[in-house]
Amino acid sequence: MDNGREAEQGFGRTSSQAEAKEHVTTRRPGLVVGSGADKTSRHRPFRLQHPQPGHAGSGRTPAELWELRELQKLNLSMNCLCALPPTLGALDNLKLRVLFACRNRLSEVPEELGSCTCLEVLSLANNQITSLPNSLASMQNLTKLNLSHNRISIIPTCVYNMKRLVFLHLACNRLETIADQIQDLVNLKIFIVEGNSLHSLPKTICLLESLELLNVDFNDLQSVPVEMYLLNRLGRLACHPLDKGLHIVHNPLLKPIQEVLQGGLSALYNYLKPS
């Protein structure tokens, strides 16, 4: 399984289902923890089960959550949450490594989340988020960030400081540009920005030599940077959303780029390379 498929299955739309299969319900409805674990367990995950219609706990996190001092994995997806409590960043252990808060009603993210400096995976997909606080720049251990299906018009500055990112998902937002600082994400292997309103790609994106999957489909691109031939790990033009390679054909590309692409990625690179 390639990196794209693995990342999507472990981090994207199927993440909530995958997490749910690994957990069992405990004493109180709405709280789900790893089977066979107690409150002192060091490596147990925790999943807040999405409420039933009319459930009294809808849109709130239970007080018991903040008693889990060794928490490493937390899934708050599909709970109608309108906000993440600032208490999240005040956990004494600061050992939280995985946080899912997908498919809620979040419009902002608390500054305190930046205190979770051990986070490696963060998914805030399918919310109503427009920006991120600068405090998240302290998340230097983050490797996977999913901000897809939100209302982001500018990639938050803090993202460019997350130097260990290998996976960045910003599909279906309101992006029109990508800043030159994208070059700072030197470890990035998967970059997905399909379904936005991008008019061009910065030349600096071509400095991301580790890129294996670049999805810019369904934007307003008319051309590509001349330096794109430097992205030699892309390998091919890709069609399936999870395949490695360059996803670009679903754009209003102008001639001759549009015609050259009919010969595949190698034809494009040969056209772009200086003679």
DSSP states of 136-174: GGG-TT--EEE--SS--SS--GGGGG-TT-SEEE--SS-
What is the pLDDT at residue 35?
32
Highest mean pLDDT among 122-131, 237-246, 266-275: 122-131
Question: DSSP alpha helices (H): ranges in the chain?
Answer: 3-11, 15-21, 257-260, 265-272
Residue numbers of the domain that contains 86: 3-272
Domain count, the chain: 1
Least confident range from 35-39, 125-129, 170-174: namely 35-39
Query: Hey, which residues does 33 pair with through a beta bridge?
Result: 24, 46
Specify the residue for token string 């809808």.
58
What is the pLDDT at residue 70?
73
CATH number assigned to the domain comprising residue 211: 3.80.10.10
Taking only the tens place, the pLDDT of each residue in 148-207 is 999 999 999 999 999 999 999 999 999 999 999 999 999 999 999 999 999 999 999 999
**What's the sign of the alpha-carbon dihedral 110, 147, 91, 66?**
positive
pTM given for the model: 0.82
Highest mean pLDDT among 62-66, 71-75, 228-232: 228-232
| Maximum CA extent, the chain | 70
Average pLDDT value for residue range 85-93: 69
Residue 23, pLDDT above cutoff 50: no
Highest mean pLDDT among 21-35, 49-63, 64-78: 64-78
pLDDT interval class at 258 (50, 70, 90)? very high
What is the pLDDT at residue 153?
98
What is the pLDDT at residue 29?
34
What is the pLDDT at residue 38?
41
pLDDT interval class at 11 (50, 70, 90)? low
What is the pLDDT at residue 40?
41
